[in-house]
Amino acid sequence: MTPPELAVVIGLPAAITLPHLLPLERVTPLWAAALWTSALVLRALAAVGLAVFVLVYLPMTDFFRVVAHWCLHDVLPVLAVHLGLSGHSLAHAASILPGLALAASVLWLAFGLARVWLALRRRLARAIGEGPQGTTIVGEEHIVIGATRLGRGRIVVSNAALHRMDGGELAASLAHEEAHIRRRHRPLLLAASLLAALGRLLPGTRTAERELAFQLERDADEYAVRHTDDPLALASAICKAATDAAAPVFVALGGRGRVTRRLGYLVDGAPSRGGALLEGSVRLLAAALATGALLLALSMPAWATSAPSSDPGASTTCPH
């Protein structure tokens, strides 16, 4: 194994694990989000690299040749006769299985996004008018305050929200959703969904995606508090919105989990910043992970096409 390959084998697991160990609630939310995004990019590249390795390099190994030479009909003749299985087919199927899993995960995400898009169009088609600050009012029995997940950024408010929230709660809610649009949270969440779909099989990927969403909610909360100077009104609005099921077509006020932590920050006060050392370390780490991800992405095509050719004398036929 060459030194660059050894560095990847050792450094990649460490890089994607490190964000889970840091007190990121004590740094600026957008820098914490940048670190989680870089970790998700590395996870996606690791999953793709693993699929390429299994597809391209695994057939060159002695282990693969041993399995490919394994004659299932000699070991389990009844199973082989009735199911038509052999060591050859099992070995080759195993080599494409990770790639198929990645493709299935991405297709499932595309299917889900298509459903969200259609549901969003149906919701907006039933809009009943324009609300405060240019929002779109929809006829809903539940509290709905959210920014559209896809398409043009738009803040949607339900009739129930207008009737059940007071002026302070409504103003804080609208400022929160405005932050999601103005600070480009929506495309980042969409990219995170794709990265998480690619790295879904790696342990911790779902946690990384949730933590990224949480940091973006923190950023929107801080934006709203700066503009309204009323954290308790925002906390009250979040509580009311969280009691109703959040519509999946919106980046909703209730957020995607971690509601209790957000309320704690708003009511009890956000954790104190970790100081210049922690903030600077997170920024450097985020930049390092982003640079490493870029270098890894640029080197992967050359690495995949430089696979050694198979031994022409090797055979996958059963010896008789």
Residue 233 maps to a domain: yes
Whether the predicted pLDDT of 9 surpasses 90: no
Instruction: Report the predicted TM-score, pTM, of the whole model to 2 decimal places.
Output: 0.83
Residue 243 has which token pair? 């009691």
First vs last Cα of the chain: how many Å apart? 36
Per-residue pLDDT tens for 90-107? Answer: 556 666 788 888 999 999
Whether the predicted pLDDT of 171 surpasses 70: yes
Q: What is the CA angle 195-197-202, rounded to 5?
A: 90
Per-residue pLDDT tens for 278-320? Answer: 999 999 999 999 999 999 888 888 776 765 555 544 444 455 4
Closest by CA to 141, choosing from 222, 212, 245, 65, is: 245
pLDDT at 255: 61
Residue 313 maps to a domain: no
The contacts found for 50-58 with CB under 8 angstroms, 24 or more apart, are 50/98, 51/98, 51/99, 51/101, 51/102, 52/99, 52/300, 52/303, 52/304, 54/94, 54/95, 54/97, 54/98, 54/99, 55/95, 55/96, 55/98, 55/99, 56/304, 56/307, 57/307, 58/94, 58/95
Say how many domains are in the chain. Answer: 1
Residue 208 maps to a domain: yes
Q: How far does CA 58 lie from the centroid of its chain?
A: 28
Per-residue pLDDT tens for 208-267? Answer: 999 999 999 999 999 999 999 999 999 999 888 877 655 677 787 766 557 888 888 888
Residue 310 maps to a domain: no
Band of pLDDT at residue 154, cut at 50, 70 and 90: very high
Inter-axis angle of helices 29-52 and 185-198, to 10 degrees?
Answer: 30
Residue 214 maps to a domain: yes
Residue 314 maps to a domain: no
More confident residue, 317 or 111: 111
Give the count of alpha carbons within 13 A of 206, CB side only.
5
Determine the structural domain holding residue 166 and report its residue range: 6-305
Q: What is the CA angle 271-275-280, rounded to 5?
A: 120
Residue 227 maps to a domain: yes
pLDDT at 110: 95
Residue 27 maps to a domain: yes
Whether the predicted pLDDT of 3 surpasses 90: no
Percent of the chain at pLDDT exceeding 90: 46
Q: Which helix (H) or strand (E) holds 252?
A: strand 250-252
